[in-house]
Structure 1
Amino acid sequence: MSQESTTPHTDFEIDLTLEETRRRAAVMAALEPGWDPVAAMRAEEEAYDLLYSDLDERQRETYDMLVAAGVLPRRGHGRAAD
């Protein structure tokens, strides 16, 4: 048997549009004037390629298992980013 609450409820809504705009402005203000997003992405891809290079046999098996499970993207030639 449940008791109904006699406490009145009030709907509460927050429009986060202004806060998201402030957050994005803060991010853009924090970036260096010469920041190049394409170069940053390219450097990140190079770092990932280096991370997954020269794996030993056991590491390669684990990597292949994670790729097959969809946890990691396949690295190397033939990717869409190449």
Structure 2
Amino acid sequence: MSSSDASLPAEPVDFDVDLTGHEMTRRAHVMEALGDAWDPVETARGEEEAYDLLYSGLDEEQQRLYDSLVAAGVLPRR
């Protein structure tokens, strides 16, 4: 054993870090950045409309691929 090994602890040391305060600060900054006009329901509705538009008007091959991705659980059933 070298002299540098002698300073290492023989047993594992518990190491705990509580990030609760940091997480609350992060969330506060996110909400501040979103602003007072942010409407989560409207945002979700807009995302659904975007997905509907994205998957509309598919040709036969695209529809087949889409259906196989849904069947495999890669995309949600719409």
Instruction: Name the TM-score, length of structure 1 as normaliser.
Output: 0.79
- How many residue pairs end up in the alignment? 71
Establish whether residue 38 from structure 1 lines up as the match of residue 47 from structure 2: no
After TM superposition, where is structure 1 displaced by more than 3 Å over at least 4 residues in a row?
none
Q: Identify the match of residue 50 of structure 2 among 47, 50, 58.
A: 47
Unaligned runs of 5+ in 2: none
* Distance in 1 (alpha carbons) for counterparts of 2:41 and 2:25: 24
Bigger helix fraction:
2
- Residue identity over aligned pairs, in percent, reads 63
Q: Which runs of 5+ in 1 are unaligned?
A: 76-82
Look at both structures and tell me which one has the larger radius of gyration over its CA atoms.
2
TM (normalized to structure 2)?
Answer: 0.82
Q: Name the structure, 1 or 2, with higher relative contact order (CA <8 Å, separation 6+).
A: 1
Give the RMSD, CA atoms, in angstroms: 1.5
1:11 CA drift (Å): 2.0
